[in-house]
Structures are given as structure tokens and as C-alpha cells.
Amino acid sequence: MKVLVINCGSSSAKFELIDMTNEQSLAKGNCERIGIANPIFSYKNLLTGEKIDKMEVPMENHTVAVELILKTLQDEKIGVISSVDEIDSIGHRIVHGGEYYEKSVIVDDEVIKNLEEIAPLAPLHNPAHIMGIKVVQKLLPGKKNVVVFDTAFHQTMPGKAYMYPYPYEDYTDLKVRKYGFHGTSHRYVSEVAREMLGKEDSKIIVCHLGNGASISAVQNGKVVDTSMGMTPLAGVMMGTRTGDVDPASVIYIMRKRGLSLDEMNTRMNKQSGILGIFGESSDFRDLDTARREGNERAVLAYEMFCYRIQLYIGAYVAAMNGVDAIAFTGGIGENSVGAKQHICEALSYFGIELDKEKNEQRLPGNVELSTKNSKVKIYKIETAEELVIARDTYKLTKE
């Protein structure tokens, strides 16, 4: 059984085809800049290594993009299937499920209706996801579609964690609350960490660190708290996002600079974080290089990023009254030797000790990085969000 995983953004469509008989990824790629100038298509056959590297190709809308994906998957030279009949089902990544969904579900008319209703909670993401589902339904009629939510794994949070102290009617009328994101990654990584720990009764802190970053406290397989909020803007400092700030500072900046709501939203989501402080790039690799060269703003941005992660780890140790393991994942969490070391050095009070030599070896796969004397296990775990989506899709549609 083969599952096609689709992640549609407003101008993009990432995809991966996975054979669920052995969970082998067959091909993956990305359609970028759909409907705007200079659209780009990338593709890689993971069986042969053959690839299309950022080829410019007309893609005026998502229908054309998905048609290109299906055509390439069936291509005689670089394709991996002979016909779309080999695609058994399609799994869609959905950023926001609101309070409707605690788990993945098969798409039907009610699901579409609910997604459209909560679209204002994720205006940059959910409308694009809905469009992607409808395009796939049109091009692959009769195939079952499954939606897998970034928010679902976090729905186990208790009210004391997810509620905001606004007037209560803002929750009942507007559904203003913490939802959390990166749920598929937190779910996968925490499950792997539990297996590596070898105990079901566990307290795990997952640090998903990339251009977008979030922290979660997972106790006995269920989320106790997570750093992102009603939107992915909250929590730790990120590549271009502020993370947590004083809400009054937002009003102050808007008034002083004469900014509109949309302009301030752009400033907080796309011009802040590492980019805002460093000033040259939002890429952590560029930041790390500049830091080691002595760039003062790079040093400041680097220290701010690590410091805010340390604060959340400390808070989540308190939230769970202990911690058995800290798992690092995501582009920065998996690959940045310096960030892991910097973060862990300030956590020695909790008995957290990183094996610096092992950390610097950059070992592939899922690796324990704590010393023998560390009271808390430290893991580097490679996330697999597409596999989580494929697994849920297979489970719901295999019968």
C-alpha cells in the first residue's frame, strides 16, 4: 500500500510517496512559488537517487502543481509508480484542527465544513490545506483522503495550561486559547524517546528547533504543556518570529511607528526573531558562523535563542515535577552541536550533563548524547513528520 503525503501552503506543495509495506520513502519533492513569478519544482527518486533540482516550470495554480507531481511520479525515467492506481490513499498535513479534532480523520463533507469554520484561526495555512484537499479529490477521485493535524497531539493539555486569562467569553465565543503546533513531530519524537528510555511512565521534554521552534512537556505519552499558542508566533524566539513578548510592547511599537495591524503582524512573524536581532539572516548556520567570528549582534541573537529554550525547559521540569529525558529534533536540534551544548550547560542544576565529545561527532540517526553520570537522558532524534502522516493515513484507510 502506497500513501501520498501532501502538505499544501498558499504558494507551495510539498509531497512524499511512502510504501507502507516496509515504510520506505520512494520519492519526495516540492512545488514552490505556485501562482507567482518563477515557480520552481524539485523532485528526488529515493530509490535511484535521480532528481530534478529546482527546475523552473509553469504552475499557475495548485491543480497544475498536483498534476505535475502525479505526472512526475509516473515518469518512465525518474518515476516510482506506473500508474496513479498504485496510490492507495492521500494524507494531508493540516496546521489547525481547533477543538474539533484530537486525532486524524478521514475527509468527508463535515470535515471540510469544520476546517472552513476554523480557518480564521490559521488564515495563512488552513485555506491552502483545504484547497489542496479539494484539488486532490478532483484529480484522484475515489481515493480516500486523511487529514493529520499539527494541533491534535496537544489536545491532552489541561485547561490550566491551554486557557488564556482573558474574559471567559473570549474563549467560549472566539475559541481564543493555546493550541500548540508541530504536533506530528512532538508525537513522533516523544514516542521514540520513550522507546529509547525503555519506560512507559516517563517525563520527556521535546525541543523541536528549526526556523520555527517549539518545546513540549510530554508525560506518559500525553502533552502537559507546549510553547506555541493560539498561533505559531508564541513561545521561544525563532528564525523570523518574536516568540513571547509583552503584548503592550506590540501596541507601543504600532503607535510609535504608525503601523497597521497587518504591518505589525508581518513585523512579528517575518522580520523579528534571529533575523531581527542579527540583521543579516534568519538561517541558524549563518548566525553560528557570524557568532564564531565575533559578530556582537550574532552573539546576542544566539544567546537569546538558547536562553529562551533554557527557560522553557526549566518551566516544564516544574510542570511535570521532574524530567527523564530531553529530546532535540528539527534542523537546529539535530544538527547544531553548539546550540545543544550551550542549552545544556545552563541546566546542570537538574543533573543534566551532555557528552561533549559524542555531541561533536555528529553521529547519524537517533543517538543518546548524555554522559553516564547524567541524571537526565539527552537524545538527538531525527523527526519524521511525513511518516507519522503516512502511518495515520494507512491505519485509517487500509480496510
pLDDT in tens, 182-230: 999 999 999 999 999 999 899 999 999 999 999 999 999 999 999 999 9
**Distances from the Cα of 224 to the Cα of 8, 95, 150, 349, angstroms:** 29, 20, 16, 22
- Compare 32 and 122 and report the one with higher pLDDT: 32
CA–CA distance, 250 with 267 (Å, rounded to integer): 10
286 is catalytic: no
Tens-digit pLDDT profile for residues 60-119: 999 999 999 999 999 999 999 999 999 999 999 999 999 999 999 999 999 999 999 988
Location of C-alpha cell 529515493: 46
Query: What's the whole-model pTM score?
Result: 0.93
Which of 352, 356, 358 has its CA nearest to residue 377? 352
The answer to whether 344 and 291 are in contact (CB under 8 A) is no
Residue 167 in this model has a pLDDT that exceeds 90: yes
Instruction: Give the contacts of 44 (CB within 8 A, at least 6 positions apart).
Output: 27, 28, 29, 50, 51, 52
Tell me whether residue 205 is exposed, middle or buried, using C-beta atoms within 10 angstroms of its C-beta: 0 to 12, 13 to 18, 19 or more: buried
Tens-digit pLDDT profile for residues 43-65: 999 999 999 998 999 999 999 99
Torsion of CA 27, 33, 37, 43, to 10 degrees: -10
Catalytic: which of 75, 88, 109, 150? Answer: 150
